[in-house]
Amino acid sequence: RGPRSRKTDHRAAGLGDCIDCTLCVQVCPTGIDIRNGLQNECIACAACIDVCDDVMGKMGYDKGLIRYTSGHAVAHGWNARQMLRRVARPRVLIYGLLLAALTVAWLWSLGHRQDVDAVLIKDRGSLARMVSNGAIENTYRLQVVNSREQARRFRLAVQGPDGLRIDSASELQVGAAASASLALRLVLPAEAALALAGQSLRVAVVITPEDPPAGDDEVVRAEASFIVPR
């Protein structure tokens, strides 16, 4: 590098592109000399790049004497096309495709997530007990999550052996983007309890939103076990 006139053939004179104008140092807000290479103080503001490109244009030289690049590329003298070729390796392309696939799957899951979710938890303190007329009662905690930005009311129904019924509230109000829980009691009549004595049955509580339209995709089933003692 070094000063020269515009008419000088710097290649024939063995000079580099830098004309030692020091404008890159003058415009740097941190006061570093980027001509000394990569430095920790650089804040990547690109002021030196802009002023150097202006000077190169006035001198008729190729722009990009100061540019965003890597130390590896500088050491090997790679241009932009060679750097792109290094990036476009099979492993990088495979990782890129995997990342794109994960992004698409994540976006799809956001667009197809259920507005309602529920979980039915059995009361461990009281697995089963006999109530009036020999019926068997199991108690649960039902938690319903409403992802919509409006409050919703849900109807509760039970699926299981014949005669199984809900012996507590069969409706639940859940606020907007909130969750609510309910103590739920399921009762099996004495006749069915005698026939199924000593068994652990799978039962399900069906949660259906009351606000129309209530498509099948909004109906949620929460399953748990129903214990019938001997």
The ranges assigned to domains in the chain are: 23-90, 116-227
pLDDT computed for residue 218 by the predictor: 74
Per-residue DSSP letter, 132: G
Phi, psi of 208 (to 5 degrees): -120, 125
Half-sphere exposure of 61 (CA within 13 A, CB side): 23
Which residues are registered as beta bridge partners of 210?
Answer: none
Does the global pTM surpass 0.85?
A: no
Comparing C-alpha atoms, which of 81, 26, 79, 73 is closest to residue 52? 26
The single residue listed with the structure tokens 């060679």 is 82
Half-sphere exposure of 218 (CA within 13 A, CB side): 16
For 92-117, b where at least 16 C-beta lie within 10 A, e where not — what string? eeeeeeeeeeeeeeeeeeeeeeeebe
Tell me yes or no: is domain 116-227 CATH 3.40.50.2000.
Answer: no
Tokens of 225: 């076990």
Q: What angle do CA 97, 100, 103 make, to 5 degrees?
A: 155
Per-residue DSSP letter, 83: H
* Residue 217 CA, distance from chain mean position: 23
Distance of alpha carbon 25 from alpha carbon 28, whole angstroms: 5
pLDDT computed for residue 118 by the predictor: 95
Distance of alpha carbon 205 from alpha carbon 196, whole angstroms: 20
Per-residue DSSP letter, 23: H
Distance of alpha carbon 70 from alpha carbon 81, whole angstroms: 14
The answer to whether 52 touches 46, Cβ cutoff 8 Å, is no
Question: In tens digits, what is the pLDDT along the chain, a chain of 230 residues?
Answer: 788 888 888 888 888 899 999 999 999 999 999 998 888 999 999 999 999 999 999 999 989 899 888 777 877 777 778 877 777 888 888 999 999 999 999 998 887 777 889 999 999 888 899 998 899 999 999 999 998 889 999 999 999 999 999 999 999 999 999 999 999 999 999 999 999 999 999 999 999 998 765 455 578 999 999 999 98
The answer to whether 148 touches 176, Cβ cutoff 8 Å, is yes
pLDDT computed for residue 5 by the predictor: 85
pLDDT computed for residue 111 by the predictor: 76
